[in-house]
C-alpha cells in the first residue's frame, strides 16, 4: 500500500487521475529545470539576433573592421552584464546569500536595513518568489541574451585569422583591447547596477 501511495504521488501530472494531487520533488525539479532552459533559449535567440544585427550595422554598413565590431559587441555586452547582475542581485536577492558580498560595489547597499544579512521581516514565500524572479530574469537576460550576444569563440577565431594573415598589430589590439575593456566595463556596469538596485529598494519598486 505504501508503494502504491508513493507511485500515486510521483505519477505524471498530465494523467487524468493525477489532477489535484501533490507533485513529487523530482517533478518540481524537472519543471523548474525546463522552465529555466526555456528562458535561456528565448533570451539566447534574441541575443544572437542582436549580435548579428550589431555586427551587420558596424561592419557591413558603417564599414568598421570586423575585429573592431566584434570588440564593441563584447565590450558593450560586458557593460550590460555588469549592470544587470548588479541590479538583480542587489534588489531581488534578500535572503542573505547575495554574490555581491564578494564585490567592493556592495558598500552602496549598506544603507539598506536588510543588507547584508537578508530581510528577516519578509515572509518566506516572498523571499522564495523574489529568488524565482531572480533566477528567471538571470536566465533570460544574462545566460540567454548576453550569453548569445557576446562571443568568445568568434573573438578567438578572428584573432587567429588576424595572426595568420600577418596583421600582428591588429591582433594585439584586438586581444588587449577586448579583454581589458571588457573587464573595465563589467566593473563599471556593476557599479551602475548596484546603484540602480539601491534606488529601487529605497522606492520599493
Please check whether residue 17 is in contact with residue 11, taking contact to mean a CB–CB distance below 8 angstroms: yes
Long-range contacts of 60-67 (CB under 8 A, 24+ apart): 65/170, 66/158, 67/158, 67/159, 67/162, 67/170, 67/171, 67/173, 67/174
pLDDT at 21: 62
φ, ψ (nearest 5 deg) of residue 166: 85, 10
130-111-183 Cα angle (round to 5): 75
pLDDT at 204: 66
128-129-132 Cα angle (round to 5): 85
What b/e string do you get for 8-23 counting C-beta neighbours within 10 Å, with b at 16 or more? eeeeeeeeeebeeeeb
| Cα–Cα distance for residue pair 45/41, rounded to 1 Å | 6
Query: pTM, whole model, 2 decimals?
Result: 0.81
Q: Supply the DSSP symbol for 139.
A: I
Q: Supply the DSSP symbol for 141.
A: I
Q: What are the domain boundaries of the chain?
A: 2-203
- Cα within 13 Å of Cα(103), Cβ side: 21
pLDDT at 20: 53
115: closest CA among 132, 129, 103?
A: 103
Long-range contacts of 61-69 (CB under 8 A, 24+ apart): 65/170, 66/158, 67/158, 67/159, 67/162, 67/170, 67/171, 67/173, 67/174
> Is residue 147 reached through a cis peptide bond, with omega within 30 degrees of 0 on the bond before it?
no
pLDDT at 17: 47
Per-residue pLDDT of the chain (205 residues; tens, 9 = 90+): 444 444 444 444 444 444 456 667 788 888 889 999 999 999 999 999 999 999 999 999 999 999 999 999 999 999 999 999 999 988 888 888 888 888 887 777 888 887 878 877 888 888 888 889 999 999 999 999 999 999 999 999 999 999 999 999 999 999 999 999 999 999 999 999 999 998 888 776 5
Amino acid at each position: 500500500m505504501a508503494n502504491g501511495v508513493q507511485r500515486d504521488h510521483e505519477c505524471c501530472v498530465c494523467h487524468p487521475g493525477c489532477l489535484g494531487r501533490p507533485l513529487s520533488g523530482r517533478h518540481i525539479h524537472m519543471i523548474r529545470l525546463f522552465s529555466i532552459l526555456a528562458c535561456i533559449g528565448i533570451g539566447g535567440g534574441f541575443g544572437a539576433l542582436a549580435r548579428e544585427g550589431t555586427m551587420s550595422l558596424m561592419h557591413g554598413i558603417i564599414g568598421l573592421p570586423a575585429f573592431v565590431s566584434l570588440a564593441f559587441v563584447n565590450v558593450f555586452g560586458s557593460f550590460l552584464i555588469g549592470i544587470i547582475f548588479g541590479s538583480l542581485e542587489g534588489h531581488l536577492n534578500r535572503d542573505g546569500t547575495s554574490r555581491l558580498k564578494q564585490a567592493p560595489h556592495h558598500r552602496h547597499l549598506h544603507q539598506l536595513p536588510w543588507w547584508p544579512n537578508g530581510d528577516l521581516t519578509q515572509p518566506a514565500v516572498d523571499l522564495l518568489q523574489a529568488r524565482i524572479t531572480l533566477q528567471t530574469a538571470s536566465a533570460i537576460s544574462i545566460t540567454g541574451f548576453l550569453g548569445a550576444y557576446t562571443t568568445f569563440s568568434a573573438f578567438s577565431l578572428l584573432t587567429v585569422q588576424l595572426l595568420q594573415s600577418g596583421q600582428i598589430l591588429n591582433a594585439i589590439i584586438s586581444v588587449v583591447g577586448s579583454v581589458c575593456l571588457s573587464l573595465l566595463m563589467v566593473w563599471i556596469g556593476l557599479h551602475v547596477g548596484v546603484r540602480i538596485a539601491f534606488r529601487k529598494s529605497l522606492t520599493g519598486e
